[in-house]
Structure 1
């Protein structure tokens, strides 16, 4: 699985949270990557996004992490 989002030097914005939320609605399981300039480590960024989207942080390895939330049915 390849990361579908990258987090860079800026803060995690409302737009980023909305995009991650939308991806979780459709896919359920997503991988994200942090660039070297990111002000967070993977565990911090994952915890922030998990809390903001109602997802679970299921894995952190290096500068990548995986979030899971039950996908919504149409």
Structure 2
């Protein structure tokens, strides 16, 4: 169930494939430790999303359901869109119209 504040443009299959392809090349920029989603982790994720727009993170271990809930919560708290999660890796997207092309993964890996 989505709320008004979580409304983001739906991505078509072509765009999702493109983003997952870019994500495959990325290394995780943030690893969530045993303390979980602390304020400092949220700040670091916010900075990384502003700079890179598309980031890969490594989440806490747990069951598949726990990781899915955690990844969705993470996306909601950062205002990002969860593109993909597999195992302990999650791919988040938050577009920044003023992103530095030298830092943005969307610009660096564009076709």
Identify the TM-score tier after normalising by the shorter chain.
0.7 to 0.9
Contact 1:25 1:72 in 2 (8 A): no
> Which structure is larger by alpha-carbon Rg, 1 or 2?
2
Structure 1 residue 35: Cα displacement: 4.6
* Structure-1-length-normalised TM-score: 0.83
Counterpart of 2:40 in structure 1 is: 15
Runs of 4+ residues over 3 Å off in structure 1: none
Structure 1 spans left out of the alignment, 5+ residues: none
- What CA distance in whole angstroms lies between the structure 2 residues aligned with 1:45 and 1:63? 10
**Correspondent of 1:68 among 93, 103, 106:** 93
Count, aligned residues: 72
List gaps (5 residues or longer) in structure 2: 1-25, 100-111
Question: Relative contact order, CA 8 A, sep 6+: which one is greater?
Answer: 1
- Partner of residue 54, structure 1: 79
Q: TM-score, normalized by length of structure 2?
A: 0.57
- Please provide the CA RMSD for this pair: 2.0
Shift of 1:71: 1.8
Matched, 1:24 2:49: yes
